[in-house]
Copies of this chain bind each other. A is one copy, B any other.
């Protein structure tokens, strides 16, 4: 369990400390659940009510909030970012007294491993792989032939990377993720599906996060490309030939169909769907469970869907949806009749 003095934390995070530099904290906690051993943070003024009563040994907050802070304060222009940086200091690190490469890992003699590479039990590294310095590959993960993995990337347990894929530096791939599976490509021969072999690769940039059990298919002919600093949550499907621009964020259960091109700094809410062969410009946000059916050419927030209601009320409205077009025509007819009556009147 790491312990830090507030002076050390102020120094590491580049923040001004107002309080006792020798005070020691050993965990991060929310304002509500913090104790004297905890450092907390307030990133939103809505939580000010908890600030007054917190038992935290120190709180990271905006300079404008310091008057409301009863104890030690670390002042940050972006407290949430400072919390993110702080979290890295409290994250558990691999045990330094265990062997780096587990004896049961299977490493093809034709693979090249950098310095300080960690391989969990039963991890598999295929022929021709190039694994960068400081890479960690979890137990049971399978890295196919000729895969390249950049420095300091972490792949958790039971993930699978197919042959020829490229993964950048400082990438995190969570357990069960699959990178480089075949795209869903078939030609129809008189009702019979004939497989189109998928000859492209998946190229993942630097500083990317790929969630647990997420799947990213290899390209049909060219590559599927995930830009730098793209963050992808769990159970997301990225189809073949998709391109996702730098710094975009994809929440859980999103599906992105084949050949969709997504810009930079986009964000997709949970369960959203994006159809194939369209393009979405930079800076587009799509809210949860919305379906993108056409290209989007203007930055902004987009949505589809209907509101949640008690089922009995919803059903009444739901059946009326089938009459919408008819209702529009009837409203138009009424307007004409009224017009006529008014003129006659």
Contacts and interface: CB of A to CB of B under 8 A. Distances in A.
B288 A197 contact: no
A224 interface: no
A342 to B, nearest CB: 7
Interface in A298-338: 300-325, 327-328, 330-331, 334-335, 337-338
A255 B271 contact: yes
A82 to B, nearest CB: 8
A176 B66 CA distance: 47
Interface string A149-188: 0000000111110111000000010111010011011111
Chain A: number of interface residues, binned into ranges: 35 or more
A142 to B, nearest CB: 4
A12 interface: no
A307 B334 contact: no
12 contacts: A27-B199, A84-B186, A106-B139, A160-B175, A175-B178, A181-B234, A184-B251, A186-B249, A192-B229, A212-B215, A303-B311, A330-B335
4 closest pairs, A vs B, by CB? A91-B197, A84-B187, A160-B175, A181-B212
Given A106-B139, A139-B106, A317 B308 contact: no
